[in-house]
Amino acid sequence: MSAPTAHRSEGQLRRALSALRHDPLALTGTAVLVLLVVVGVAGPWLAPAGINDVDVDRMLQPPSWAHPFGTDELGRDVLSRVMVAARVSLQVGAVSVGIALLAGVTLGLFAGYYRGWLDNLLMRCMDVLFAFPVLLLAVAIVAVLGPGLLTAMIAIGVVYTPIFARVTRAGVLSVREQVFVRAAVSIGASDLRIMRRHVLPNIAAPLIVQTSLSLAFAILSEAALSFLGLGVQPPAPAWGRMLYDGRGFVTDAWWLGVFPGAAIFLTVLAFNLVGDALRDVLDPRQLTVNEARRSTG
């Protein structure tokens, strides 16, 4: 037990980052994410045309130098709309995963630390949420709260809370049996202090991994909600919504669906690559496998 613990603590994050530097897939994923963030932040200024510049003379034009991603049925520049929509996706990802992280970690921490009836109550509630298909639950929540960006973010946040609660609880269960937690109890540290200072930092690794993977799923869920007309409302651009609008033109104007779809694909892929790579370098068991591989290979 002590060996991997000692191993992991050796500047865990620094080790992880240096390991990531030598992983081409992780580097690619990171590069895509950086590009995405730049576009997300500066999209409206970088975009070659306004997102709502309707021009009926240019409608449904295929990709060209003037319009690299083509134009839609109202003559709007698809590239500009895809770029501006990146902000929506990132925003939804960040806010909804933030909600899920905050709620899930809090619930999982209390459930795992106090065990007993509180644990049962909280985790059974999480099981109920978990039992619903993700999209069905999100749609139900949006139906109650009304469609829009904010409710989409809340709905996705609620849907992804149970996974964070479970990951947290599992980590807490093993950490709270460690002697250093007993030592903290013995010096009279309060429960909240123990949870915050001794338990939480020791379960950061699985939470970081879960966060990066959940970002991908959250963005995918937002696209699905937008596709169903339950997310961002037109004329504001969102990738899912653009897919929906483009589906009628699939045979005549493939670029309407392909480019927003490719944007979703690349974003989700990038988050997954980074998430997988993080899991490899932060998971102590995986770590030893990798090191064994490195030393023999």
Query: Among residues 98, 113, 121, 112, which one has the least CA distance to residue 193?
Result: 113
Residue range at the interface with another protein (CB under 8 A); choices 75-83, 84-92, 144-152, 175-183: 175-183
Q: Is position 22 an interface residue for another protein (rule: CB under 8 A)?
A: no
Query: Among residues 171, 36, 187, which one has the least CA distance to residue 111?
Result: 171
Cα(238)–Cα(235) distance, integer angstroms: 9
Instruction: Give least dist CB 182 to another protein, A.
Output: 7
Q: Is position 8 an interface residue for another protein (rule: CB under 8 A)?
A: yes
The single-letter DSSP state of residue 22 is T
Q: Out of 21, 22, 196, 197, point to the residue binding another protein (CB under 8 A).
A: 197
Where does residue 159 rank: exposed (0-12), middle (13-18), buried (19+ CB within 10 A)? buried
Query: Among residues 152, 128, 149, which one has the least CA distance to residue 140?
Result: 152
> 54: number of CA atoms within 13 Å, CB side?
4
CB contact at 8 A, 255 and 69: yes
Cα(190)–Cα(195) distance, integer angstroms: 9
Residue range at the interface with another protein (CB under 8 A); choices 4-12, 14-22, 96-104, 231-239: 4-12
Q: Out of 27, 32, 60, 185, point to the residue binding another protein (CB under 8 A).
A: 185
> What's the longest Cα–Cα distance across the chain?
77
Q: Out of 201, 234, 235, 248, point to the residue binding another protein (CB under 8 A).
A: 201
Q: Is position 284 an interface residue for another protein (rule: CB under 8 A)?
A: no
Please identify, using beta-carbon distances, which residue of 10 and 57 lies nearer to another protein.
10
Q: Is position 5 an interface residue for another protein (rule: CB under 8 A)?
A: yes
Q: Is position 14 an interface residue for another protein (rule: CB under 8 A)?
A: no
Residue range at the interface with another protein (CB under 8 A); choices 104-112, 199-207, 275-283, 285-293: 199-207
Contacts of 254 by beta carbon, 8 Å cutoff, 6+ apart: none
Residue range at the interface with another protein (CB under 8 A); choices 9-17, 71-79, 121-129, 248-256: 9-17
Please identify, using beta-carbon distances, which residue of 276 and 283 lies nearer to another protein.
283
Which residues are near another protein by CB under 8 A? 1-2, 5-6, 8-10, 12, 178-180, 182-190, 193, 197-198, 201-202, 204
